[in-house]
Amino acid sequence: MTIIEVKPTKPWAATPADRFRDIVILLGAIVASFLFVAATPMKGKLAYFFTFFFFYMCATAGYKLVTRGNMAARDALVSSVVSIGAVATLIPIISILATVVSKGVKGLHWSLFTTDMSLATPTDPIVAGGLLHAITGTITLVVLSLIISVPIGILTALYMTEIKGRLIGPIRFLVQAMSGVPSIVAGLFILSSVLYPITKAYSGFMGVLALSILMIPTIARTSEEVLNLIPNDLREAGVALGGTQWRTVAMIVLPAAKSGLVTAMILGVARIAGETAPLLLLTGGGDRVNPNPFDGPMGSLPYYIWKSFNAGSPEAITRAWAGLLVLVLLVLILFTAARMLGGKKK
């Protein structure tokens, strides 16, 4: 008996010939856009971008129309619109990251993470002084804001999804209105309601209060959406086993929503990590490491960046870029850590 060997194939996948044709169309569109821009009075990168987009769309759609018909042509048209949209979205992100990294790397040196600016002036060479006060300040502000905002935000969401009390309408309205509050307004509110009448001094905690005003609605809204996704079956199962509503929520609903709630926290941190306006008004932005958020001015990375750019000297501007890079890295580390802690363990 002969054994016929059957090879696994993918009849639905593109063949090398198909890929070659795609590349020819792509290169043709690039060449055509260059020629078109050269032949007409149009100038600039945007002109290349849009003429290339136009030629590429026409070429792929036309090719599919001839070879595969109407449906394939429409598919090609929509695909090219979607991919151009994706590229257009990625360009600013990559551009920002590339600029921050390339300019920030010049200002990086080890003592950045071990010293503060208390003994250095903005015009000192870049190796003098460091960011320690700003890094510790930002971490303190973020952590304290989380400690205040996460319980309030999640309890608000639980009120809306589990308790479903009478105030649900007004509360949802307030949460939505609060998520649109400009950060400077939050800063001014704390300035006029707490700092001037009560404490009469700058401190990190004043900044934390303003940041919490910004963070609570973000966490509450996201948590509400996440909790609404938890199937009602699970709540019924918990209650049917003789659990009280509170124990069912604490033991079943919240654990089931854990990774979504971590996302809510991450979005909350993203909302405040780079926030500058309220910190300018409330924290005083010292140049010395201040571990006490309740007493004395407290530095932070956004404040440091703002101050260094304002100082204007080339060294100060290098410092500002280094601060930006460190802020981006810090946010990245926070997000990764949150994902690893809150990710699905099984």
Partner 1 sequence: MTTMETSKNMSTSNILPTTNVASLEARGIHAWFGSHHVLSDINLDFAPSTVTALIGPSGCGKSTFIRTLNRMHEFIPGAAMAGEVLLDGKDVYAPGTDVTKIRLKIGMVFQKPNPFPSMSIGENVLSGLKLAQLKVANKDDLLEECLERAGLWKEVKDRLNAHGGSLSGGQQQRLCIARALAVSPQVLVMDEPCSALDPGSTLKVEETISQLKASMTIIIVTHNMQQAARVSDYTAFFLSDGGPGQMIEYAPTSDIFSRPQDQRTENYVTGRFG
CB 245, min distance to partner 1, A:
9
CB 346, min distance to partner 1, A:
4
For residues 43 and 164, which CB has a smaller minimum distance to partner 1 in the complex?
A: 164
Q: Which stretch binds partner 1 (CB under 8 A): 33-41, 143-151, 197-205, 228-236?
A: 228-236
For residues 142 and 253, which CB has a smaller minimum distance to partner 1 in the complex?
A: 253
CB 164, min distance to partner 1, A:
8
Q: Which stretch binds partner 1 (CB under 8 A): 35-43, 63-71, 82-90, 229-237?
A: 229-237
For residues 230 and 327, which CB has a smaller minimum distance to partner 1 in the complex?
A: 230
Burial level of 227, CB count in 10 A (0-12/13-18/19+)?
A: buried
For residues 235 and 319, which CB has a smaller minimum distance to partner 1 in the complex?
A: 235
Q: How far apart are CA 4 and CA 209, in angstroms?
A: 74
For residues 247 and 339, which CB has a smaller minimum distance to partner 1 in the complex?
A: 247
Interacting positions 113-172 with partner 1 (CB under 8 A): 164
For residues 7 and 164, which CB has a smaller minimum distance to partner 1 in the complex?
A: 164
For residues 71 and 229, which CB has a smaller minimum distance to partner 1 in the complex?
A: 229
CB 152, min distance to partner 1, A:
23
- Per-residue interface string for the shown chain with partner 1, residues 233-272, x marking contact by CB under 8 A: xxxxxxxxxxxx--xx--xx--xx-x--------------
SS3 sequence of the chain: CCCCCCCCCCCCCCCHHHHHHHHHHHHHHHHHHHHHHHHCCCCCHHHHHHHHHHHHHHHHHHHHHHHCCHHHHHHHHHHHHHHHHHHHHHHHHHHHHHHHHHHHHCCCCHHHHCCCCCCCCCCCCCCCCCCHHHHHHHHHHHHHHHHHHHHHHHHHHHHHHHHCCCCHHHHHHHHHHHHCCCHHHHHHHHHHHHHHHHHCCCCHHHHHHHHHHHHHHHHHHHHHHHHHCCCHHHHHHHHHCCCCHHHHHHHHHHHHCHHHHHHHHHHHHHHHCCCCHHHHHHCECCCCCCCCCCCCCECCHHHHHHHHHHHCCHHHHHHHHHHHHHHHHHHHHHHHHHHHHHCCCC
CB 142, min distance to partner 1, A:
27
For residues 89 and 244, which CB has a smaller minimum distance to partner 1 in the complex?
A: 244
For residues 254 and 270, which CB has a smaller minimum distance to partner 1 in the complex?
A: 254
Q: How far apart are CA 289 and CA 137, in angstroms?
A: 8
CB 262, min distance to partner 1, A:
13
The correct pick among 7, 45, 166, 346 for binding partner 1 (CB under 8 A) is: 346
The correct pick among 28, 69, 151, 231 for binding partner 1 (CB under 8 A) is: 231
CB 229, min distance to partner 1, A:
12
Q: Which stretch binds partner 1 (CB under 8 A): 39-47, 213-221, 226-234, 331-339?
A: 226-234
CB 257, min distance to partner 1, A:
9
Determine the size of the site formed for partner 1 (CB under 8 A): 22
> Which own/partner contact pairs does 61-70 have at CB distance under 8 Å and 24+ positions apart?
63/21, 63/25
User: Contact at 8 Å (CB) between 296 and 103?
Assistant: no
- List the one residue out of 334, 188, 204, 336 whose CA is nearest residue 273: 334
For residues 148 and 256, which CB has a smaller minimum distance to partner 1 in the complex?
A: 256
CB 239, min distance to partner 1, A:
6
CB 55, min distance to partner 1, A:
50
Residues found near partner 1 in the complex (CB under 8 A): 164, 231, 233-244, 247-248, 251-252, 255-256, 258, 346
